Chain A
Amino acid sequence: NAGVTQTPKFRVLKTGQSMTLLCAQDMNHEYMYWYRQDPGMGLRLIHYSVGEGTTAKGEVPDGYNVSRLKKQNFLLGLESAAPSQTSVYFCASSYSYLTDTQYFGPGTRLTVL
Chain B
Amino acid sequence: GIQVEQSPPDLILQEGANSTLRCNFSDSVNNLQWFHQNPWGQLINLFYIPSGTKQNGRLSATTVATERYSLLYISSSQTTDSGVYFCAVVWFRDDKIIFGKGTRLHILP
Contacts of A92 in B (CB 8 A): 43
CB of B102 within 8 A of chain A? yes
CB nearest neighbor in B for A33: B97
With contacts A98-B31, A99-B31 taken as known, whether A45 is within 8 angstroms of B97 at the C-beta atoms is yes
**A42 and B41 in contact (CB under 8 A), knowing A59-B96, A98-B31, A99-B48?**
no
Q: Within residues 35 to 54 of chain A, which ones have a CB less than 8 A from any CB in chain B?
A: 40-45
Q: Is the CB of B88 within 8 A of A42?
A: yes
Assess whether A43 is in contact with B96, with CB atoms less than 8 Å apart: no
* B42–A106 CB distance below 8 A: yes
In terms of DSSP, what is the predominant structure of the interface of chain B?
strand
- 1/0 per residue, CB under 8 A from A, across B78-109: the answer is 00000000101010000111111110000000
* Contact (Cβ within 8 A) B48 A42: no
How many residues of B sit at the interface, in one of the four size bands?
20 to 34
Number of A-B residue pairs having CB atoms within 8 Å of each other in the complex = 48
Any chain A CB within 8 A of the CB of B53?
no
Total number of A residues with any Cβ neighbor in B under 8 Å: 21
Interface assignment of A103: CB less than 8 Å from any CB of chain B: yes
A interface SS class:
loop
Q: Which residues of B contact A (CB under 8 A)?
A: 4, 30-31, 33, 41-45, 48, 86, 88, 90, 95-102
Contact of A45 among B33, B96, B100 (CB under 8 A): B96
Q: Give A104 to B97 CA distance when docked, in angstroms.
A: 15
Task: With A42-B101, A100-B48, A101-B45 as known contacts, state yes or no: A58 contacts B96, CB within 8 Å.
Answer: yes
Which residues of chain A from 77 to 113 have any CB-CB distance to chain B below 8 Å in the complex?
A: 88, 90, 92, 97-104, 106-107
